[in-house]
Amino acid sequence: MAAATSGTATVTLPADDQILITREFDAPRHLVFTAYTTPELVRRWWAGKRGEVTSCEIDLRVGGAWRYVMTANGGYEVAFHGEYREIVPDERIVSTEVFEGAPESEVVNVVTFAETDGRTTLELLTQCPDQETRDAIMGSGMEGGMQEGMDLLEQIAIELHK
């Protein structure tokens, strides 16, 4: 069960080409770091409600590669990969990220883990090459949101037919 005290993710846009996601967790930061960087654990959360993680490779060292693949609920596959540029265990990870559906647009993610009184604030800053990329990434949230809406409608329709 998720802790009732868990926070909600907030998204802000500090600049035209940036996205900042902030979320507090009811756990010390070494555990949040572990959940964020261990393949079998990432598999459990990274797809959210949108599908299943089918592959998760993490070579956690500077210059090491990562690649996540997810099969979305609609049946299509999406994959992301990148390279680690900076790693401070339990504190900070800087990595590149490429959506394989749009390989020309590489973003840089800076994740920081800050602990206060046993709780950890995770900040994920996505630095995009330009505003168009930022907007496309934000738009993908909208698309997914619409997909979920459709899924929900479908479920309700099936329920009504029973």
Give the interface with another protein as residue ranges (CB under 8 A). 1-3, 6, 8-11, 13, 15-16, 19, 21, 23, 25-27, 31-32, 34-36, 41, 44-50, 122, 131, 135-146
For residues 62 and 76, which CB has a smaller minimum distance to another protein in the complex? 76
Dist. CA 92–CA 114, nearest whole Å: 9
Of residues 131, 137, 61, the one with CA closest to residue 97:
137
Dist. CA 11–CA 162, nearest whole Å: 39
**Ramachandran area for residue 146 (φ above 0: left; ψ -120 to 50: alpha; else beta):** alpha
Structure tokens at 82: 């990148």
Q: CB of residue 75 vs another protein: minimum separation in angstroms?
A: 15
For residues 55 and 62, which CB has a smaller minimum distance to another protein in the complex? 55
For residues 64 and 144, which CB has a smaller minimum distance to another protein in the complex? 144
Dist. CA 139–CA 46, nearest whole Å: 18
For residues 51 and 161, which CB has a smaller minimum distance to another protein in the complex? 51
Q: CB of residue 161 vs another protein: minimum separation in angstroms?
A: 27
